[in-house]
Chains A and B, each alone.
Chain A
């Protein structure tokens, strides 16, 4: 019998989007530090690999005004994670940071610091953002042409790696007797000349416990997948179903070989949601309730407006779909600061009208129907079995769980599902290592003893 794959789990702090049900009486603060502490400690109690924070650098706007129907407001990720390092011991700490509105030297220094302060638990989810809308909050504005965003991201990630490799392991000898703190040859200078960055100097932070923080990527396009296959330790995908998961998994893992990487050097961890009940029927009822909370009457209209590209506030969310036609120009500009997934609004409208007609759905019911996310729903046993089947079936290496409720949204999963995964021998009962690389089974990057940048990876024994 082949060895069972070990599942990797991560906790996503509830987002600034409509996954989070703020209207539930159980819903707590999305900004008080205590909420972050609770979710992180819950994840650590469940022996999760890491805790994850997303990024948003401009508040979303809809019809020219700040969008007010979803959760709004978040802290700076690295600052929260540095604080969480004080109240957790083993949990990995992952922050999403943009390669467009940051600079490699500063970002590399901040992640190296987090890695030191957490004894090797830092991770960086590198994202690209080319939009001029976000750029209005930054010195350079929206300076980057859309097509160049992956060029900048790839060069940014390479450059950060060059900085992290400049200090040799053990550069600091701190010999009080001889008066040598660090030998100068163990602290290498860097010089990077490229189309995006032209920088040089000496990096200000000694080599951190993980060498490089764990690198996460979330790209879904062909270019994004290629970038992930080349540089990422973890890919955070949207493909959380069985078949779409398997297709994505196979495609990305296939790309590793050309970069000299092995299959296990990259973990694919889709985002998903879990709803648990004592019976399957109860779990499904809970889902209905959650969906109503996620798609409020006002939210349903706003969602429709994003596709129609026009003001639909006069329509009744509990009535039929509008018979007016969508505005193609409006659909491009009505909502800003949000990733658009609908490339062709006319096609979406046609499809939605068909669904609404076939199932006799109101506006709100339709939005609930078409925005339902693939999720693990059922009794704890059903959830554990299905999640394990998906992982053993190579639809994923594990999952990032996105709770609906802050901060107690993962309590049930940790209390009821994690023990079942542990019983099946597919999830750790105790942390075996101390760093996030240990949890993920990733090799340590090597630094050259001369302090010169080195691209090589050395493998630690399994």
Chain B
């Protein structure tokens, strides 16, 4: 394994006009462009130029709740990032893709293809669909309790990872004398039989540049046993929600212990903390923006760390959380786009780089490289 050259990782999450429901009404917001490629290309290019590790694009099948004053509608996150891939070079591209009403075979192929079109920058943020409204969009099964959905997600990740390995590296041989295009001994049936589905395999897609794109699993709180177990066994990144440094540190310890329990070496699982951010040049500016936004629309309650203020104050908090063993990095959830992104890349990131907390990733490297993870051999390869 290569040694990480940086103290921690910072990525940004994107959804609509930003995570505050009134974000689209801000002066800099461009709500008419939310469904255009240019909107996302611009944001991701700015995030890349600013030295962020990755962008995570949220997704869900159903239309957002709310009335006429809320952003409604969303494009498919994986396609957005495929559209962005050819016009970026360095930044990791992590779409949210759900496991409840989707096919593991299609999802494995799509993510492998995102890895091909981005030359090894794909990740996968795993999510489940809990609502009956989502179930009715498909009409195939009823809404189920979260623990059942997580059990299905667990199997889903397992089979997707097997499909990613189902072509060994070097399976394509183009051997003219024998007329063989592939060495079929290097292609493998996955023959997965689970509670929720059976998948025969192999994948239709050869092994992708990273072999295994990074898998991101949400862990909401301490004691969230099902999520902790999935993340500890199968994820490369656990994305946690915690509002205090002590809670985050406890959760990280629990995750790393559980990962060791699965025989995983330290450094194999990164624990990133979700942070709601509203950044302005001064604390006063940020506070008045916050007041204006909250006056227009109420945010949903959350257990996440939330920061409203100038960038320097946030840099202090992030450093403190990392020093306290509470995080290996952060996913910033900007209240308002593109304004908060601008403050992140022009204020926060340069500050973190000056402090030596962050090193901007190098062009041409894979997302695994950013996280210091080697490219794994296929589980089916005979060494």
Give the B-binding residues of A (Cβ under 8 A). Answer: 22-23, 31-33, 37, 56-59, 65-66, 68-76, 78-80, 82-83, 85-87, 101-103, 105-106, 109-110, 113-114, 116-119, 136-139, 141, 167, 172, 174, 176, 179-184, 187, 197-206, 296-299
Measured between alpha carbons, how far is A117 from B27 in the docked complex, in Å? 25
Contact yes or no, A181 B24, CB < 8 A: yes
Could you say which of B27, B75, B176, B184 contacts A116, with CB atoms under 8 Å apart? B75
Contact yes or no, B136 A113, CB < 8 A: no
Measured between alpha carbons, how far is A203 from B63 in the docked complex, in Å? 7
Check if B350 is an interface residue, CB within 8 A of chain A. Answer: no
What residues of chain B lie closer than 8 Å to A82, measured between beta carbons? 79-80, 82-83
Contact yes or no, B25 A176, CB < 8 A: yes
Could you say which of B69, B80, B204 contacts A57, with CB atoms under 8 Å apart? B204
Contact yes or no, B86 A116, CB < 8 A: no
In the complex, the chain B residue whose C-beta lies closest to that of A77 is B113
What residues of chain B lie closer than 8 Å to A198, measured between beta carbons? 139
Q: State which residues 285-337 of B face A: CB under 8 Å.
A: 296
Contact yes or no, B184 A117, CB < 8 A: no
Residue-wise interface mask of B (43-68) relative to A, using a CB-CB cutoff of 8 A (1 in contact, 0 not): 00000000000000000111100011
Measured between alpha carbons, how far is A184 from B70 in the docked complex, in Å? 10
Contact yes or no, B78 A79, CB < 8 A: yes
What residues of chain B lie closer than 8 Å to A37, measured between beta carbons? 86
Could you say which of B62, B69, B106, B182 contacts A66, with CB atoms under 8 Å apart? B182
Q: State which residues 22-39 of B face A: CB under 8 Å.
A: 24-27, 29, 31-32, 35-37
Check if B253 is an interface residue, CB within 8 A of chain A. Answer: no
Contact yes or no, B24 A68, CB < 8 A: no
Q: State which residues 92-129 of B face A: CB under 8 Å.
A: 101-103, 105-106, 109-110, 112-114, 116-117, 119
Contact yes or no, B137 A201, CB < 8 A: yes
In the complex, the chain B residue whose C-beta lies closest to that of A87 is B86
Given A110-B79, A183-B68, residue A75 in contact with residue B179 (CB < 8 A) = no
Given A76-B106, A139-B196, A176-B24, residue A204 in contact with residue B61 (CB < 8 A) = yes
Check if B73 is an interface residue, CB within 8 A of chain A. Answer: yes
Quote the shortest CB–CB distance from B151 to chain A (angstroms): 15
Measured between alpha carbons, how far is A174 from B34 in the docked complex, in Å? 10
Give the A-binding residues of B (Cβ under 8 A). Answer: 24-27, 29, 31-32, 35-37, 41, 60-63, 67-76, 78-80, 82-87, 101-103, 105-106, 109-110, 112-114, 116-117, 119, 133-134, 136-140, 167, 172, 174, 176, 178-184, 187, 196-202, 204-206, 296
In the complex, the chain B residue whose C-beta lies closest to that of A203 is B63
Could you say which of A66, A117, A187, A299 contacts B179, with CB atoms under 8 Å apart? A299
Contact yes or no, B79 A86, CB < 8 A: no
Contact yes or no, A86 B83, CB < 8 A: yes
In the complex, the chain A residue whose C-beta lies closest to that of B75 is A113
Quote the shortest CB–CB distance from A314 to chain B (angstroms): 16
Contact yes or no, A172 B32, CB < 8 A: yes
Given A137-B105, A179-B296, residue A79 in contact with residue B204 (CB < 8 A) = no
Quote the shortest CB–CB distance from B129 to chain A (angstroms): 11
Measured between alpha carbons, how far is A86 from B117 in the docked complex, in Å? 11
Contact yes or no, B181 A69, CB < 8 A: yes
Contact yes or no, B113 A79, CB < 8 A: yes
Contact yes or no, B179 A297, CB < 8 A: yes
Could you say which of B74, B101, B182, B183 contacts A106, with CB atoms under 8 Å apart? B101
What residues of chain B lie closer than 8 Å to A201, measured between beta carbons? 62-63, 133-134, 136-137
Contact yes or no, B35 A68, CB < 8 A: no
What residues of chain A lie closer than 8 Å to B174, measured between beta carbons? 22-23
Known contacts A73-B182, A105-B138, A182-B73, then 10 further A-B pairs from the complex at CB < 8 Å, ordered by chain A residue: A68-B183, A69-B181, A75-B205, A82-B83, A86-B41, A110-B76, A138-B199, A200-B137, A200-B139, A206-B35
Contact yes or no, A296 B86, CB < 8 A: no
Measured between alpha carbons, how far is A198 from B174 in the docked complex, in Å? 47
In the complex, the chain A residue whose C-beta lies closest to that of B173 is A68
Measured between alpha carbons, how far is A174 from B35 in the docked complex, in Å? 12
Quote the shortest CB–CB distance from A381 to chain B (angstroms): 35
What residues of chain A lie closer than 8 Å to B137, measured between beta carbons? 105, 199-201
Contact yes or no, B63 A66, CB < 8 A: no
Measured between alpha carbons, how far is A231 from B109 in the docked complex, in Å? 29
Contact yes or no, A83 B182, CB < 8 A: no
Measured between alpha carbons, how far is A372 from B300 in the docked complex, in Å? 65
Could you say which of A75, A86, A187 contacts B72, with CB atoms under 8 Å apart? A187
What residues of chain B lie closer than 8 Å to A176, measured between beta carbons? 24-27, 29, 31
Contact yes or no, A182 B72, CB < 8 A: yes
Given A76-B109, A180-B68, residue A86 in contact with residue B204 (CB < 8 A) = no
Quote the shortest CB–CB distance from A65 to chain B (angstroms): 6
Measured between alpha carbons, how far is A202 from B72 in the docked complex, in Å? 10
Measured between alpha carbons, how far is A63 from B71 in the docked complex, in Å? 55
Contact yes or no, B198 A141, CB < 8 A: yes
Measured between alpha carbons, how far is A429 from B67 in the docked complex, in Å? 48
Contact yes or no, B79 A113, CB < 8 A: yes
Could you say which of B67, B80, B110, B181 contacts A71, with CB atoms under 8 Å apart? B181
In the complex, the chain A residue whose C-beta lies closest to that of B73 is A206
In the complex, the chain A residue whose C-beta lies closest to that of B72 is A182
Could you say which of A110, A116, A141 contacts B37, with CB atoms under 8 Å apart? A116
In the complex, the chain A residue whose C-beta lies closest to that of B297 is A179
In the complex, the chain B residue whose C-beta lies closest to that of A302 is B179
Contact yes or no, B31 A181, CB < 8 A: yes
What residues of chain B lie closer than 8 Å to A167, measured between beta carbons? 73
What residues of chain A lie closer than 8 Å to B70, measured between beta carbons? 181
Given A85-B37, A141-B198, residue A184 in contact with residue B116 (CB < 8 A) = no
Q: Can you give 26 A-B contacts (C-beta < 8 A)? A: A33-B116, A56-B204, A58-B204, A66-B187, A68-B184, A76-B205, A78-B79, A79-B79, A79-B82, A85-B37, A86-B41, A102-B103, A110-B76, A113-B80, A114-B79, A137-B105, A138-B197, A176-B31, A181-B70, A187-B63, A187-B73, A202-B62, A203-B63, A204-B74, A205-B35, A297-B179
Measured between alpha carbons, how far is A167 from B73 in the docked complex, in Å? 10
Measured between alpha carbons, how far is A197 from B138 in the docked complex, in Å? 8
What residues of chain B lie closer than 8 Å to A298, measured between beta carbons? 178-180
Quote the shortest CB–CB distance from B17 to chain A (angstroms): 9
In the complex, the chain B residue whose C-beta lies closest to that of A73 is B206
Quote the shortest CB–CB distance from A227 to chain B (angstroms): 22
Contact yes or no, A33 B180, CB < 8 A: no
Q: Which of A65, A184, A197, A204 has the most B CB atoms < 10 Å from its CB? A: A204
In the complex, the chain B residue whose C-beta lies closest to that of A136 is B200
Contact yes or no, A75 B79, CB < 8 A: no
Given A176-B24, A205-B75, residue A76 in contact with residue B110 (CB < 8 A) = yes
In the complex, the chain B residue whose C-beta lies closest to that of A118 is B37
What residues of chain B lie closer than 8 Å to A183, measured between beta carbons? 68
What residues of chain B lie closer than 8 Å to A106, measured between beta carbons? 61, 101-102, 138
Quote the shortest CB–CB distance from A358 to chain B (angstroms): 28
Contact yes or no, A33 B117, CB < 8 A: yes
Contact yes or no, B82 A174, CB < 8 A: no
Measured between alpha carbons, how far is A166 from B35 in the docked complex, in Å? 16
